[in-house]
Amino acid sequence: MNITNYNKLALAAAAALALTAGAAATGCRTYRAPVAPDFSQEMADRAAAIDLVRAGQRLEHAGKDALAEEKYRQAVRLYRETPSAWNNLGRLLMKRGSNEEARSSFLVAAELSPRDPLPVYNLGALWDNMGYLEDAGRWYEEALSRDENFLPALRRSILVDQMLRRGNEVTARRVQRALLQETDPWWIERLQRERVRLAEELRAGRGRRGEDEYLKRPTDERPAGLPPFGTDPTPIAEPLPR
């Protein structure tokens, strides 16, 4: 064998040895397939939280508010992302006068359900019950931005404008949308009267009459701080989860 052929064989052997060494080194590493996240515990916690909400609603129906409140608290401790528990907890807190905690609960529910008008409507009801009509009106506006046909917010936003002795084309359109849905004779009569009043004021160019004068008064001197009889703004319960 000549030197040239010998060198070629030597180079080939060296290359083969290098490949073998590389393969051996690679083989020392253990391949681990990516592990899919396990959501089974989260799903179990969510289902258990909804069961607690159901139990709380049954207790509420039986008039056992303190026990119902504890069920809602257990639900949010177990699975924070349960908006129905936060909303219903806020209602019970508001009912017993814990307004600041109720406000926080409604805000969490609103954050967890960004398209649901219910928790922001309840924030409006909270301020409404305390006589802060301007703040209540802003939350009713937020509820209607989430669902422009949400009847409870339509009713209350129209009444807030009425109690503040104001109104504009937006209010008139809301009256129209409310009348398309309304079935309660008391509300139908009130909305029809409000539609006539608004039409007359808008024709006369007196829309939003009296708003500035009202807002300049100290809070305790403002009329209509309490809603008219029969229109108490009660917070709404979250529908029973399916």
pLDDT tens digits for range 171-191: 889 999 999 999 999 889 989
Q: What is the pLDDT of residues 109-134, one digit of tens each?
A: 999 999 999 999 999 999 998 888 89
Candidates 228, 230, 239; CA nearest to 91 is: 239
Q: Is the pLDDT of residue 149 over 90?
A: yes
pLDDT at 69: 96
22-36, 121-135, 154-168, 228-242: which range is least confident on average? 22-36
Cα(198)–Cα(167) distance, integer angstroms: 7
Instruction: Please provide the CATH number assigned to the domain covering 41-221.
Output: 1.25.40.10
Q: Report whether pLDDT(214) > 50.
A: no
Average pLDDT score over the chain: 81
Contacts of 179 by beta carbon, 8 Å cutoff, 6+ apart = 188, 191, 192, 195
Q: What are phi and psi of 67, to 5 degrees?
A: -70, -35
pLDDT band at 77 (very low <50, low <70, confident <90, very high): very high
Distance CA 62, CA 199 (A): 46
The C-alpha atoms of residue 88 and residue 91 are separated, in whole angstroms, by: 5
Could you give the CA distance from residue 176 to residue 196 in angstroms, rounded to a whole number?
11
Q: Are 56 and 73 a contacting pair, CB within 8 Å?
A: no
Question: Are 122 and 90 contacting, i.e. CB atoms less than 8 angstroms apart?
Answer: yes
Higher pLDDT, 153 or 20: 153
Cβ-contact 86, 108 below 8 angstroms? yes
pLDDT of residue 229: 42
pLDDT attached to residue 56? 95
Distance CA 199, CA 157 (A): 17
Q: How do the domains of the chain map onto residue ranges?
A: 41-221
- For residue 214, give both structure tokens: 């009202």
Per DSSP, the three-state class of 109 is: helix
At 232, the pLDDT band (50, 70, 90 cuts) reads: low
Q: What is the sign of the dihedral through the CA atoms of 220, 222, 223 and 229?
A: negative
